[in-house]
């Protein structure tokens, strides 16, 4: 199993406005940190915001299609097992 910090397939991230908010908030906070002179924290929040943008905006459609494919394969496997057990 792959370690994932953000799970774009979670129902919470379905609405676009939530995904945008999860990208904008860390980037805005990075601005606050930079303005206060905490450049280290600012860099951490910039990286967090960029990662969230990549996962939740750029790769979202690809990730959802991949998850749907896995779910369909699982449903087909369960149906085949059910058919096999019914035939016995």
pTM of the model: 0.77
Higher pLDDT: 13 or 86? It is: 13
Q: For 36-68, what is each residue's pLDDT tens digit?
A: 999 999 999 999 999 999 999 998 888 888 888
Q: How confident is the model at residue 23 (pLDDT cuts 50, 70, 90)?
A: very high
Three-state SS for 8-31 is: CCCHHHCCHHHHHHHHHHHHHHHH
SS3 content of the chain, % helix, strand, coil (to 5): 80, 0, 20
Where are the chain's structural domains?
13-87
Q: How confident is the model at residue 76 (pLDDT cuts 50, 70, 90)?
A: confident
């Amino acid at each position: 199993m792959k370690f994932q910090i953000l799970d774009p397939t979670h129902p919470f991230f379905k609405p676009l406005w939530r995904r945008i908010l999860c990208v904008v908030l860390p980037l805005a906070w990075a601005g606050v940190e930079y303005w206060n002179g905490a450049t280290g924290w600012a860099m951490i929040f910039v990286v967090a915001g960029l990662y969230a943008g990549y996962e939740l905006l750029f790769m979202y459609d690809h990730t959802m299609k991949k998850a749907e494919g896995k779910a369909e394969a699982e449903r087909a496997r369960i149906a085949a097992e059910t058919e096999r057990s019914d035939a016995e």
